[in-house]
Amino acid sequence: MEAKAKEKTKRSGMFSGLGSSMKESIGKEGGLGTFRLWINLATLTLGFLFGGCHLVFGSYPLGLALISALPVSVWLAMLGVVLGSLTLGRSGIIYAMICVLGVFLRVIISGNDKVKPKDAGKEGGLFRESLSLRVSSAVIAGFVAGIYEILLEGFSLETVLFGVSMVIFPAVFTFLFAGAFYHGVGVKTLIFGSAACFDVGEGKKEKVRDAYFKISLLCYIALAAIALNKYRFFGIDLSFVFASLITLFAAKRFGALFGAVVGFVSSAFVSGLYSPAFALAGAGGGALFSFGAWYAVLLGGTLLSLWGAYVSGVSGFLSLLPEYLIACCIIFPMFRFFERESSPENKDSILRRATDMVGTMALAYRNRQALFPEKVEESLNALIPTVAEFCHGDALSEDYSAFSKMLAEAKEKILVKRELDEELTDKLEIIFSDFGFGGGVIRAFGDRKKYIICSGKDRDGTLITAPELKRRFEDESGMRFSAPEYYRRDDMVLMECEAVAKYKLEGAVAAGVGTSGEISGDSSKLFKSKELFAYGVICDGMGSGREAKCASDFSTSFLDKVLGCGTSEATALHMLNRALGHGKEECSVAVDIFSLDLILGEAKFIKSGAACSYIKRKSSLFRIKSETMPIGLIKKVDAEQISVNVSEGDIIIMVSDGVSSPTDDSPWLVEFLNKPAIRDLNEYAETILELAKKNSKSGDDMSVLVMKVGYEN
């Protein structure tokens, strides 16, 4: 414990108090920063507007569609929709209740959905259900609203049209709204990133997804303008202010063409007469923004005013220009902020500082990996007395080559751990950038057990500490990562995390003595290595009595120490074979090993003269058998490695040949294993043992090892 504390102190000291200041300003999960505050406020406002927005036949479907489509901030959006619905008076209470029903339908559905969309990740979660189920929840809630209206007001054409619209429109708009979350572009990237952030590739699927994303954004813009149309303050039309604001922003960020499209869409459903004016403002402004914001805004305003005067005279001029001027007063401070955040000098500075922080932490990581041989040395120091007691005195000197192979494997693992994984780094860079760290740096190291370091600019620490960032790293890599550690230097932050066990292996052992003696010649053990492999081992000493027991106990202990320090199974069996050959008495051992990679979930059996094993998956049963010789009989190891696929909930049953023959199934055992499994593993193992005592005719010692594969919490 003291050594770990010293190591953590050294790492924190590299950044001159970086860790302590991060703790003060960020906290473990992060606070509510300025940017996120504005995003939350926008979500709440959009919910409020959509909650009180009427379309046709008396229906108000937009609020229900919004809360059905969002994968995040659903509760906040629901609050906004409820508040917006309550402005409608008595009927609004019904809409508010329907929207609350829609959210709780999603809670129920997302908790049971097994098919997750791309944005939900591999393990899904609350409000991460598939798009079809999101649409279904909107349809169900809308159907309830329609039925209630018919029951309340009676059956008529108006109530039927209302019911149909409350079923169809929420479904359609849920589908359209959801498109904004299937592209992988974050809000911060959309605002601060490059103009090419929409372009995800040249393939057909990428183009469809890109079009879906753009249509979804335009849908939000058009409907927000419609919802704002009923609000006027001192003669100022808020929908025109919004249209001017969003048009100038789009023209600045994405050019004249996109500015014209946004200008037209943002006003077409409010006033078709004036929609060309906003399209002209977007096109003209977008064409001149490269020369200066003042020129762009001036030309946009001129074109807007000329079109208004052309179609409606002075009234048209006065209907558009005041709203445009208000939008200009809002947009200029925004432009200055965007330019400061997106300037090349700022990005270069961020990149240099992020590279420095990541480089320092990467060096510390590589130095830590150099300590791995010490773990091997500890295992060797514990192993040598065991080997010396079991073997002849000259055995150790003859086995130096095997020990040197252990060290060589340890060195190779160090080199692999320290290597940069360029492919994963490239993938994570896209996620890191989309999350808002355009000038940040991220690195992924290692082959199997990944280590990730990333750094970027984050004034209040809300981005780097967001659980969503770690979740997306896990989704991309297919691994589970440790709780991140954070460090801070001024407005720069750094996060590091490493792969941890995603799977777990629980087990139980039952053993019985055969008819030929009082001491069992079997030995069983379940253990975990430093490299996060779980092993289940049964060693069956050939024969019975003290000699068999001594050989099996030695073999189990030997494999525990050698495999436990990260040595490969092949090297471990080779060393065991040599050790048994140097034993003070002639002996051989049937070895049965089950190995589970707790990080990747890959599993395999290694069998040398061992009995059949079984994998029970729900109602299916799989047999694993091998025709090999026990360890210690011949100079060369006769072992077979069998890779298997395992899933959560699978039960692995390993037995010695006193329970089941190495080559044939025992009918009674197969019949029992085909029945539903007993939940308690100890009881399951003991039941198999009792049945073996009744049905087995071999009279040999009996061992049963039952294991269950699960996910770590």
Domains and CATH numbers, the chain: 350-372+402-500 (no CATH), 503-711 (3.60.40.10)
pLDDT of residue 60: 92
**Count of other CB atoms within 10 angstroms of residue 303:** 20
pLDDT at 139: 94
Residues 50 and 173 sit within 8 Å (Cβ to Cβ): no
DSSP string, 614-666: EEEETTEEEEE----PPBTSSSS---EEEEE---TT-EEEEE-TTTS-SSS--
Question: How far apart are alpha carbons 476 and 499 in whole angstroms?
Answer: 13
Strand segments, DSSP code E, in 514-630 are: 522-528, 533-541, 589-597, 603-608, 613-617, 620-624
Q: Which long-range contacts (CB under 8 A, 24 or more apart) does 21-25 make?
A: 21/488, 21/489, 22/461, 22/486, 22/487, 22/488, 22/493, 23/486, 25/460, 25/461, 25/488
> Could you write out the three-class secondary structure of 147-205?
HHHHHHHCCCHHHHHHHHHHHHHHHHHHHHHHHHHCCCCCHHHHHHCCCCCCCCCCCHH
pLDDT at 399: 55
Alpha carbon distance 85, 103 (integer Å): 15
Residue 272 CA to residue 691 CA, distance in Å, equals 83
Distance CA 154, CA 143 (A): 16
pLDDT at 192: 62
Task: Answer yes or no: are the C-beta atoms of 137 and 105 closer than 8 Å.
Answer: yes
Distance CA 587, CA 631 (A): 9
* Torsion angle in degrees (nearest 10) through CA of 627, 515, 687, 645: -10
The DSSP line for 312-327 is HHHHHHHHHHHHHHHH
Instruction: Give the pairing type, strands 492-500 and 451-457.
Output: antiparallel
pLDDT score recorded for residue 188: 65
What is the C-alpha separation between 197 and 210, in angstroms, rounded? 10
Distance between CA atoms of 111 and 266, rounded to whole angstroms?
37
Supply the pLDDT for residue 538: 94
Residue 281: both structure tokens together: 């403002």
Structure-token pair, residue 238: 């808020």
| pLDDT score recorded for residue 632 | 83
Contact partners, residue 705, CB within 8 Å, separation at least 6: 507, 508, 509, 524, 526, 536, 537, 538, 594, 653, 654, 655, 685
Instruction: Tell me the two tokens of residue 544.
Output: 């019975």
Angle CA(266)–CA(272)–CA(276) in degrees, nearest 5? 70
- pLDDT the model gives residue 438: 65
Residue type, 196: A
Rounded average pLDDT per 10-residue block, the chain, 713 residues: 37 34 36 64 93 90 94 92 92 91 89 46 63 92 92 90 93 93 70 57 72 91 93 89 93 89 93 92 89 88 92 88 91 70 58 81 71 54 58 51 61 69 87 77 87 85 83 89 88 89 93 77 89 92 81 89 82 85 76 94 93 91 90 85 92 90 75 90 93 82 93 86
Check residue 208 and give its pLDDT. Answer: 82
Cβ(177)–Cβ(65) below 8 Å: yes
* 502 within 8 A of 480, measured Cβ to Cβ: yes
